[in-house]
Chain A
């Protein structure tokens, strides 16, 4: 369970999160939509504690991580997998070492077991026989999938996906959507999926929240969001260039004058 209360964060005089509230129930897949630069990635980084909020609290399974020391947070982090927007693969390591990273760091398993787990995780994201390749040899979409495999390999209770289908081909994107749904149905993983791909959002979400001006302005099931009358949400989900969201309004809003 993830419980976010009145979260606020200012980065370089730019108000990114402004009294944001969000709850994700156990086993739920929450999709967060919003324009680029609205603070979706910053929100996910708060949830794993790699960015500290200026104000507000984040509770994970009842524990407030904003008050914890780095050592205490590390215990919580073992349960959370964050799939970074750009993959964030370790470029000095092979694909196998990347995927097995958590196993190698924290568990002393037999090499054969590790190899099998790596192969299984890669198979889940539709990749095989690339264990010996280096991240620099992979395409953008493959990097993203390896990054997802790295998280799957640690078998977390909570998975945070940062734009998992952005920049991958439509067929792979659909496979990733199916995988998210499968993890939700079979393993009861609690997920937050950040995206601005609406077809993906409708497919995987139990509930969709829209982030705007640093807070959640609308929340509901996919069908509720589809039917919404909220002008901002409506403009976003239909992808209309005309409406309350204008080209440069994030900039106007974001800077304290």
Chain B
């Protein structure tokens, strides 16, 4: 009994100090942003890695989620003869919740893990120490471009996921439930508010920051050899997932109960 309390308190303590370390890295990164010059080449390289690289998988997932949502709704709505509201449910839940979170989780798995593995192997082979020896700040050189790339590209990917997910719903509604195509889009545009889209996108900015900070923090703190890099990469994905879900819950509470949007 006592040991489990001690274990839990230990876990909470570690969680808080981890978030503290992330906050410190965030502070340093944001401070670097305001000190020119920023190397646009490095930022662009990272943006290309995050955006086009993740576009295919994010689109496929969004498309199928749109279809699945429509099918699941059909199962209930057909009984009530309320199929016509399926476009509303699909589009609102996609833009507010599913597209932002699923895209972020995909990018955390794809890009966040990649960042940790790359920076981790740089630490192990003394490349990060070499940067410092050449008077280059590793946070500025390595973290800032990745942070910016994720914070910029994740919302853009999410916009595409929104659109493609709605197209997934379209396929089911039009070809399976025989809703008139133009009626589908009318229903969608009536249902989706600008605030649905913006709240979704604001979340992804924060999720992008989480992925970048966790990925970089895990990578830069790798201790030993190849095994350490592997462990750090796994942990990077796990921690990103947990923090994204927690942040999502906080955002939803904030948007719904406090700001009422």
Contacts and interface: CB of A to CB of B under 8 A. Distances in A.
A70 to B, nearest CB: 7
Interface string A55-94: 0000000000000001000110110101011101111000
Contact of A84 (B129, B135, B136): B129
B15 to A, nearest CB: 24
Contacts of A78: 135
A101 B134 contact: yes
Contact of B127 (A74, A82, A90, A154): A90
Interface residue tally on B, bucketed by range: 10 to 19
A102 B136 CA distance: 9
A86 B125 contact: yes
A84 B132 CA distance: 12
Interface in A94-119: 101-102, 105-106
Given A70-B137, A74-B135, A45 B129 contact: yes
Contacts of A77: 132-135
Contacts, number: 47
A45 B128 CA distance: 12
Contacts of B129: 45, 50, 84, 88
B126 interface: yes
B134 A91 contact: no
A91 B133 contact: no
Interface string A207-247: 00000000000000000000000000000000000000000
B135 A88 contact: no
B132 to A, nearest CB: 5
B137 A50 contact: no
Contacts of B137: 70, 74
A48 interface: yes
B130 interface: yes
A48 B133 contact: yes
Nearest to A90: B127
A91 B135 contact: no
A160 to B, nearest CB: 9
B132 A50 contact: yes
A30 to B, nearest CB: 19
Nearest to A160: B133
Contacts of A49: 132
Interface string B120-161: 011001110110111111000000000000000000000000
B136 A91 contact: no
B223 to A, nearest CB: 10
Contacts of A80: 133
B133 A50 contact: yes
Given A88-B125, A88-B127, A91-B127, A102 B134 contact: yes
A49 B137 CA distance: 13
Nearest to B124: A86
Nearest to A84: B126
A82 B136 contact: no
A88 B125 CA distance: 6
Contacts of A154: 134
Contact of B130 (A70, A88, A105, A106): A88
Contacts of A102: 134-135
Contacts of A86: 125-126
A52 to B, nearest CB: 12
A174 to B, nearest CB: 26
A103 to B, nearest CB: 11
B133 A82 contact: yes
B21 to A, nearest CB: 18
B132 A91 contact: no
Nearest to A85: B126
Contacts of A50: 129, 132-133
Interface string B153-196: 00000000000000000000000000000000000000000000
Interface in B101-134: 121-122, 125-127, 129-130, 132-134
29 contacts: A45-B133, A49-B132, A50-B129, A50-B133, A70-B137, A75-B135, A77-B132, A77-B133, A77-B135, A82-B130, A84-B126, A84-B129, A84-B130, A84-B133, A85-B126, A86-B125, A86-B126, A88-B129, A88-B130, A89-B127, A90-B122, A90-B127, A90-B130, A91-B121, A91-B127, A102-B134, A102-B135, A106-B135, A154-B134
Given A70-B137, A77-B134, A91-B127, 14 more contacts: A48-B132, A49-B132, A77-B133, A82-B130, A84-B130, A84-B133, A86-B125, A88-B127, A88-B129, A91-B121, A91-B122, A91-B125, A102-B134, A102-B135
Interface of A: 45, 48-50, 70, 74-75, 77-78, 80, 82, 84-86, 88-91, 101-102, 105-106, 154
Closest 8 CB pairs of A and B: A74-B135, A88-B130, A88-B126, A77-B135, A82-B133, A50-B132, A48-B133, A50-B129
